[in-house]
Amino acid sequence: MIGRFHFDPAARPLADAALAAEPAEIAALLLKDCESEAMLLAAKQILDATLSVAEWDDGALGAMVQAPVLRGGRVDREQLWHWLEAQRTATAAALDGVVALGMAARHSLLRGRAALSLLGDCWLDTVSQPATQPAAIVNILFGQRWLLLGEGCPARSCVALRRRSLEEAGIFLPSISDAGFFRAAATDPMTSLQAAFLLSLSRYPATYLPELVGIHAAYHALGIDDRVAGLVPFVTSEAAWEALETYVDGLRDDPAGEALSRRLVDAMRVFVGLERRQVAMLAKMAELAGQSTDRSLDLQVAEIVRRHAPFAGKQHGRVRIGGKLLSERFAETNLDLAGFLRDFKRSSYLRADATGSCRFVDAIKFGGPMFGIFSEQEAGVLKSWFHRAAQTIDEPIILVPEGHDDSVARLWLAGIRNRLPRDTVFEAAPDLDDRTLFYRLVNIENFANTLSVALERARAGLARAEVLFNDEAAGRYTDARFFEYSPEALEARVESIYWQKLVEPYAPLDDIPPRDEVVFGQKYYALGNLIDGCWAFRSSGTGRFERAADVTLFNIYADEMGLGDIQKNHITLIYRVLRSLGINLPHIRDEAFIDQDEIPDNFYTFPLNQLSLGLFPNRFHPEILGYNLGVEMFGLGEVRLHEIQKLKHWGFDHIYEDVHLSIDNLSAGHARQAVTIIQAHLDETERRYGAAAGAAEWRRIWNGYAAFSYFMEGGTLESPHSVMIDDDAIGDHCALTL
């Protein structure tokens, strides 16, 4: 545990501005922005305030959910399991009670839960990363994430199946990556804040691992979203419990084990309390919806008005409802929806005329001034509400259960806004040597102020790589000369590189280098190998797993991480090789790694560029696709085969080389997938935005490939003109990072 979280002072006002928004907008900002320092600070603030709920909740959650007792400072597993079972039973009874009320009640429950349900297990977005791999708990969680994402097939993912359940119930919501998702889902403030809390956890899986493990186990023990959707769980409560037990086992000999155990249990208490409270609120709302058709219609119309009110501006002129201008009424911070519907029902706009229609219904018909504002389903609800308006004009409109108020949400939001996050240091990133910068980029959760350094380093690497675009000659192992894109031209270039540079030049070595030279070469490769896949670990974040390119990129990364099997994890494999060489390194996350003396200083430039690029999956999306092509191709053929020969000769482990020579193959492996990723992305870009946009995107993609080529062929950030070096010089000292 590093203990401190470093932010640039400039991030403070930006985070405050984000947290000044309403809950639904805060959640939307977190969903959209996974790269900025300001949103990392906002997420830290949300996490710390929520996990300290007892300080602002007046004991409500504690009274609802008593925390399990630790025994001897460690988790009492039997008691914890029984406690979770009791919470699951109570929650299931509440949900079953709602379903028993009929379709209107179930519809209300599904809609109320939709925003949380479609987030999936967002907290697992980046649980696998350079700072956490390889570890037993991380690989178990990553294996479960692989299952939840449909084993690489989005249509089979848990979120896709939940969305299908919503649509079967007549609830149609935009993609979760859509800026208007939370508005369309009509989430109440508490639900929005709960979504923001879970998204915040997804930003800190390494430093908040105890909380993540506890919340993951609690979420799947309760099983709310699968039960509401009527689905068989992808991850059973027993499977999630296995992850928790693995983590707890690892704390036995940890000096910080007691503190970490308490953090785990406290996070479970908070999360289960939030879930129980949300289910109780939804149950009351569902009961209200199920009491009568009229109340169900009132609730649906209120949701429609809530969604469209922000866009009802001056175009309504002098329209008045209840004696007040509509534009002014909808501009109110706390819009009284029940009062508005009561006044609207009594207004002239809903008064039936001789044809049985009214001014409002005529306005939303084809040809009317409001046609197209409401969806077909929304228009149907509004017409049904109008037809019942005359019979219910004097009946009160009740949109919230008796005793319901938003005071807890307001208290929660105030607790977030008014509380500085724990253990934070506000300082600009100092000048850093390469070793310290590497350590900080691996531990970016603790050193968010280094993001600006990473961004400039990535930009510099890409800018210098363009020198290769117009070179007369290709490199020894790559060919970054620019060419006009077509699917056929890309395949021709790739096959040319594969045959002419990687396969045909190969011949077995006649003379094997001395043992020390082979060990030195592996040290050169090691730093890149220890961050295997770092350019792609953010490729499947919540809201990103929708495009074909991102899906396939994640599938490649999942392969690299062994699909959750730690024995097949490529980071495990490189440690295995290093041990056979007699090289024992601290984990790259440990501060001790800064001072390790096995890997020289001049080996850091390329891995730093790779780490920097991977921290910006949105900003550098096309460049990452091109970079990925370079990575996946480079290990094929001559270089890899020579390494295997040398390692075998001296009796060293060569599993890492063997695996990559196979898995990266150009026939159907990662190299072929890297080509299809680019083709799919450019095809989608051209169809949506036109040929010019496709051409611009292609240049950026090839710039990403050139960035890989630039470093592989000997370029450095300090020497932009010495890109190409002779074959003998590069020889056995190319940095393999596959």
The predicted pLDDT at position 725 comes to 32
Q: Both 285 and 298 in a single domain?
A: no
Q: Both 569 and 633 in a single domain?
A: yes
Domain boundary among 245, 273, 291: 291
424-426/5-7 β-pairing:
parallel
Among 122-136, 208-222, 268-282, 399-413, which is the least confidently predicted range? 399-413
State the average pLDDT over residues 122-150: 96
Does 732 have pLDDT greater than 80? no
In 3D, which of 604, 378, 512, 421 has the Cα closest to residue 52? 421
The predicted pLDDT at position 731 comes to 33
Q: Both 356 and 286 in a single domain?
A: no
Which amino acid, one-letter code, is at 646?
Answer: K
pLDDT in tens, 476-530: 899 999 999 999 999 999 999 999 999 999 999 999 999 999 999 898 888 989 9
In 3D, which of 550, 708, 537, 736 has the Cα closest to residue 628? 708
Domain annotation covers residue 485:
yes
Domain boundary among 263, 291, 319: 291
Sign of torsion over alpha carbons 506, 512, 515, 520: negative
State the average pLDDT over residues 158-185: 90
State the average pLDDT over residues 386-406: 75
Domain annotation covers residue 581:
yes
CA distance 482 to 442: 32
Q: Both 201 and 240 in a single domain?
A: yes
Q: Are 515 and 509 in contact (CB under 8 A)?
A: no
Is pTM, for the whole model, over 0.85? yes
Q: Both 170 and 180 in a single domain?
A: yes
Local confidence band at 68 (pLDDT 50, 70, 90 cut-offs): low
pLDDT in tens, 172-185: 899 988 888 887 88
Greatest pairwise CA separation for the chain in angstroms: 100
State the average pLDDT over residues 625-644: 92
State the average pLDDT over residues 386-396: 84
Residue 458, domain extent: 434-733
State the average pLDDT over residues 154-166: 95
Q: Both 336 and 317 in a single domain?
A: yes
Report for 333-337, 344-348, 714-718: range of highest mean pLDDT: 344-348
Local confidence band at 728 (pLDDT 50, 70, 90 cut-offs): very low
CA distance 605 to 586: 20
Which amino acid, one-letter code, is at 325?
Answer: L
Mean pLDDT estimate for the chain: 89
Q: Both 195 and 338 in a single domain?
A: no
The token pair that represents 471 in the structure block: 């070179």
The predicted pLDDT at position 401 comes to 63
Domain annotation covers residue 409:
no
Report for 57-71, 320-334, 697-711: range of highest mean pLDDT: 697-711
- Specify the higher pLDDT residue, 99 or 666: 666
Does 2 have pLDDT greater than 80? no
Domain tally for the chain? 3
State the average pLDDT over residues 431-436: 95
In 3D, which of 522, 463, 547, 543 has the Cα closest to residue 652? 522
Local confidence band at 283 (pLDDT 50, 70, 90 cut-offs): confident
Q: Are 599 and 523 in contact (CB under 8 A)?
A: yes
Q: Both 346 and 235 in a single domain?
A: no
Distances (CA, A) of 408 to 20, 50, 59, 197, 704: 17, 12, 12, 15, 48
- Specify the higher pLDDT residue, 497 or 544: 497
State the average pLDDT over residues 662-683: 95
Domain boundary among 341, 370, 392: 392
